[in-house]
Structure formats: structure tokens, C-alpha cells
Amino acid sequence: MKKILVIDDEEWLREMVHLALQQKGFEVVEAENGERGIEIARKELPDLILCDVNMQKVDGYHTLSSLRNEPATASIPFILMTGLADHAGMRHGMELGADDYLPKPFTIEALYAAVDVRLKKVTAVRQEAERKLADLRENISLMLPHELRTPLNGILAYGEILSSDSATLQPQEIAEMGQVIYHSAKRLEHLVENFLIFAQLELLGSDPQKLQALRKETASPASLVEQQARAQAERANRPNDIRLDLKDVPVQMSDEYLGKVVGELVQNAFKFSQPGTIVDVELSGAGEHVVLVVTDRGRGLSPEQITKIGAYMQFDRKMHEQQGLGLGLTICKRLVELHGGTLSIQSEVGRGTTVTVKLPRASRQ
């Protein structure tokens, strides 16, 4: 049985709404003001809240704001009831996170319709989240065993040698084995990080409120892009193979996620190109968008490979030992799409690949 909390300082209205909803099979709890409503919402965690705007002590806007700022109550559907449904008030309520407005006076049919729409939307969002979670489990079950085994094999094999034969090994041999263990562990760390980000993004995509909170901005991205690009060049032992052309254009993506996108794309460019060939990284503005372009002169991808980018897809795994392309590109593509952008790939086998990212441009304050 769905539970609905009704918050209003007019007793006759609470009783009317209570009776109407009860006849529809809902469990109803009441609060006579916003202060009491916040307490009951925290305790009862209702499936939906109907709240008057104009009340003594704590009004509907403050009630809404308080509940939206608490993790346990932030996602509860919230309908504001008011006899003063002006555009400014409605806009303010929506900015605070209201799901709907119910103008007073309202009919029983209007009440039922508003409640029904909100609860159906919550059900749809939950079902979509469950579907994404099922897809996520399937993707991880397909990919995780192989991806974890590869770096773990290096760690376990050389760890065993070091523990059993250390007395007979030369210092140079021990150092080389230590390097292999270190690089395998770093690859494993990167893999786990990518899986966690992938899982987070898949679940975020079905939660509009969390998705909105995700969209922050980087006011001066050029230095961040340069830092990430040069770091990847150093890791690939190719510091002279990077060429940058960066314009400082504010972008609608946090520095954390922008850094992740740049790092993954530049890392892939170095992985799949030969030492001595240039990797270009460009950042510029184009109207309402910020454009990031990463170009390599490597082995390239076929049209079939480009269309099959997915979390469980590794291109030519038997032929090429480098791993992580499928998941890394999938994370980049998902991150860009969640921020209202696009990621496209142009490639020719044997000649190289160009990845173009377009993101919304942030307005300077």
C-alpha cells in the first residue's frame, strides 16, 4: 500500500484529501504545518508528499528545500498545493525540486490525476533503474573475469617467484619483477576505477535529480587538458609525441569528469599508435559548444569496430594486447552524453583515429 503525506494548516482540507485518497486504497498520514511535516517525512518516508505553500512556522517552499537536502527524503515525489499559482512562485518551486503543482481549489479527479501521474513516473524510473542494473550486471559478468585475470596473473606469478626464489635472484632481476608487479597493479587500479565509474554513470542516467547535480562547469579548462595530456604522454614514455592547441573556453562539465575524458582519449591515442608519431589534442569554442579533438596516426578502427563500442567490447584482443579501449571509450561517451554533448569517431584502418567531443559551453559569470 502506497503511503502519502498530506501537509496543510487547514484541517478541513487535510480531512477531505485524506478521505479521498483513502477511498483509493492509499495509506495517508497528516501534518498540520511544515515543521511537523518534515519530522513525519523523515520518520515515515512516504511514497509521495502533498504540501500547501502558505503555512505558519515553515511554509511549503522551506519544507520542500529541507527534504530535498536530505538523502533519505530527496527523491520523494513532492506536489505543492496553492491558491496563488503565479508563474514566479511555480518557477521557484520547480527550482527547489517540486515535481508538480496542484492549484486550489481542485477537484477530487484532479487530485487523483496528479497523484497517479507522479506515482507512475516513480515506478517507471525505478523500473528503468532496475533494467540498467540488470544490464550492468550482465556487462560486468561478461567482461570482469578476463579483465581482472590479466593484470592479476602478472602480480601473482612474479610475486610467487619473489617469495620463493628471492635468495637466488640478482638485484636487477628483483627490480624488473617489481616493475612488472607495480605496472600490473596500476592497470588493475585503473580497471577497478573504470568499472566503478561505469556503474555510477549507468545508474545516474535514470535519476534526473542526481543527473542535474552532476552537471557542473570548468571555467578554465585549457590548463587541465594540458596537464592530463602531458601526463599520458609521460606514462607512454613519449613526451615529445604530444602536440597541443588549446583555447580556454568555459565548459559545462566538472574538472573531475573532463579530466577523465581527456585522460582516457589521450591514453588510447598513445596505446594504439607507434612511438615517433604525433598525437594532437585541440580545444576550441564553436558557437554554443566547446570542442575537444584527439587525433592519432595509429592503426585505426574499422567502421564495424566503431559501431560496436561497448563495455564488454575489446577490439582485436587476440591481435593487440592493449586492453581497456572498449570500457574507456564507453565511459567517455556516456559522460559526454549525460552532460548534453556528443562523442564521434572518425577512423581509417592503418592511418589513425580522430575522436571529437562536443560539450555545452558554460556562460562566464
Each residue's pLDDT tens digit, 252-293: 998 988 999 999 999 999 988 999 999 999 999 999 999 999
Does 236 have pLDDT greater than 80?
yes
Query: CA 173 to CA 188: how far, in whole Å?
Result: 23
Q: Confidence band (pLDDT; 50, 70, 90) for 138?
A: low
**Residues 194 and 328 sit within 8 Å (Cβ to Cβ):** yes
Kindly indicate the confidence band of residue 321, based on its pLDDT and cuts at 50, 70 and 90: very low
Residue 193 pLDDT class (50, 70, 90 cuts): confident
Residue-level pLDDT at 234: 96
Count of beta carbons in the 10 Å neighbourhood of residue 183: 14
Same domain (yes/no): 224, 205: no
State the pLDDT confidence band at 299, using cuts at 50, 70 and 90.
confident
Query: Do 229 and 321 sit in the same domain of this protein?
Result: yes
Mean pLDDT of 225-240: 96
**Whether 332 contacts 309, CB under 8 Å:** no
Instruction: Assign residue 156 the CATH number of its domain.
Output: 1.10.287
The single-letter code of the amino acid at 87 is H
Q: Please give the pLDDT value at position 320.
A: 38
Report CA-CA distances (Å) from 92 to 68, 87, 88, 98, 365. Answer: 14, 9, 6, 9, 21
120 domain residue, yes or no: no
- Structural domain span for residue 22: 3-106
Say if residue 238 is in the same domain as residue 309. yes
Provide the CATH number for the domain around residue 34.
Answer: 3.40.50.2300
pLDDT for position 323: 44
What pTM, to 2 d.p., does this model score? 0.52
The strand order across the sheet containing 3-7 reads: 27-31, 3-7, 48-52, 78-82, 100-103
- 235 and 206, same structural domain? no
Q: Going by C-beta distance under 8 Å and a sequence separation of 6 or more, which residues neighbour residue 312?
A: 139, 142, 143, 326
Any alpha helices (H) in the chain, and if so which ranges? 11-23, 34-44, 60-68, 87-96, 108-165, 171-204, 208-214, 221-235, 255-271, 303-307, 325-338
Per-residue pLDDT, averaged over 153-181, amounts to: 87
Q: For residue 6, which phi and psi values (nearest 5 degrees)?
A: -110, 120
Helices 171-204 and 108-165 pack at an angle, to 10 degrees, of 170
**Minimal CA–CA distance to 3: which of 111, 76, 79?**
76
Whether 285 and 343 have beta carbons less than 8 Å apart is answered as no
* Same domain, yes or no: 71 and 163: no
Residues 65 and 41 in one domain: yes
pLDDT at 326: 56
